Amino acid sequence: MIDIHSHFFPRISEAEARAVDAARAPWLAVGADGRSGQIMLGERPFRPVHDALWDPAARVRTLDQTGVALQIVCATPVMFGYGWEASRAADWATRMNEKAAQYCAGHPTRLAWMAQVPLQDVSLACAEVTRARERGAVGVQIGNHVGAKDLDHPDLVDFLAFCAESDIPVFVHPWDMMGGAERMRKWMLPWLVAMPAETQLGMLSLILSGALARLPTTLRICFAHGGGSFAYTLGRVDNAWQHRDIVRSDCPELPSSYARRLATDSAVFDRGALRLLADVMGIERVMLGTDAPFPLGEQEPGSLVRSCEFFDAAAQQRILHDNARAFFGLDALASEDVKG
């Protein structure tokens, strides 16, 4: 199996974070046992974590236990730094990408990495993704927005066009979710409600703005968390496009006709949802993604796909392995090392 959606968080020291932004730069406090820790923002605890997030040996032991042959890691979104001055964010992205490369270096057939970039500045983002690609990144992870700029903003479209022209796969992850503390104070509602909505917003921003129609068809772009609520509500979007001119004003074709230019991971946790997702996106556009090592991720990688008897063996193999291999151009890795 190839898992395309997992996160890492390096051992960023408090001093390193404070030198960048004392209040907002994240750092890692590791417990006395060496296996538990806490991501911190300044002096505020952000998220409890465990050693697979920062220790590649612990990560590979988990891969061995769960049957994952290759896992692609990317930054935990709190690391993005999109709110900082661009040159500061660019320096931070370079350092985080070096940490990602070092995280994977000891296990080159088991771990691969995606870059992060200072997305608030297109020229700096393009420069860093180019450098990271040369350093070994298999793609780039971006957030679904930068402040009020959604994916249809000209700056972000320019970055996507650069990635298409440079043959760099893009993985879009929701972050900085809508709603905030006012209406989603409890029960992890930002992750359960706003995160799927943010993902759908990114996908529809590209489609309804006409940006996707203008971008090169060579763009390889994948959305996390099964595309959020996109597949389930696409019929509603098509209906609105057919009956309201304000919806179709910038979108030349039926919105659903663009779905198969996008890809998603498989992290939907429900057989019916996965079946719908494959029907909407196409079986060749869905890839195994676990969101490891976080507790909202798939705890038994591949178990949902394998439980779906409506997928024949070839379809399961595509989701679990073949689609990721093609999307990320992993042929440089020996085939026997990434089967499973």
User: What tens digit of pLDDT does each residue of 55-67 get?
Assistant: 999 999 999 999 9
pLDDT by residue (tens digit) across 160-206? 999 999 999 999 999 988 876 678 878 889 889 999 999 999 999 99
Average pLDDT of span 11-40: 94
Supply 2's token pair. Answer: 């190839």
**DSSP conformational letter for 231:** H
pLDDT confidence of residue 333: 55
pTM of the model: 0.95
Residue 140, phi then psi, degrees to nearest 5: -135, 135
2-9+51-337 under CATH 3.20.20.140, yes or no = yes
Helix (H, G, I), strand (E, B) or coil at 182: helix
Decide: 213 and 253 in contact? Cβ < 8 Å.
yes
What is the Cα–Cα distance from 52 to 50, expressed in whole angstroms? 6
Decide: 138 and 39 in contact? Cβ < 8 Å.
no
Residues in the chain: 340
Decide: 216 and 161 in contact? Cβ < 8 Å.
yes
Is residue 108 reached through a cis peptide bond, with omega within 30 degrees of 0 on the bond before it? no
Which residue would you say has higher pLDDT here, 336 or 71? 71
Q: Is 33 exposed, middle or buried (0-12, 13-18, 19+ CB in 10 A)?
A: exposed
Using the predicted structure, report yes or no on whether residue 220 has a pLDDT greater than 90. Answer: yes
Q: Which of 146, 175, 193 is nearest to 7 (CA)?
A: 175
Using the predicted structure, report yes or no on whether residue 230 has a pLDDT greater than 70. Answer: yes
pLDDT confidence of residue 172: 98
What is the Cα–Cα distance from 1 to 18, expressed in whole angstroms? 39
Using the predicted structure, report yes or no on whether residue 314 has a pLDDT greater than 60. Answer: yes
Percent of the chain scoring above 70 in pLDDT = 97
Q: Which residues contact 155 (CB under 8 A, 6 or more apart)?
A: 122, 146, 149
Decide: 262 and 219 in contact? Cβ < 8 Å.
no
Which residue(s) pair with 26 in the sheet?
Answer: 41
pLDDT by residue (tens digit) across 324-334? 999 999 975 54
Residue 71, phi then psi, degrees to nearest 5: -125, 135
Using the predicted structure, report yes or no on whether residue 339 has a pLDDT greater than 50. Answer: no
Question: What mean pLDDT, rounded, does the chain reach?
Answer: 94
Q: How confident is the model at residue 323 (pLDDT cuts 50, 70, 90)?
A: very high
Average pLDDT of span 214-230: 97
Q: Which of 57, 161, 98 is nearest to 115 (CA)?
A: 98
pLDDT confidence of residue 340: 46
What is the Cα–Cα distance from 277 to 156, expressed in whole angstroms? 26
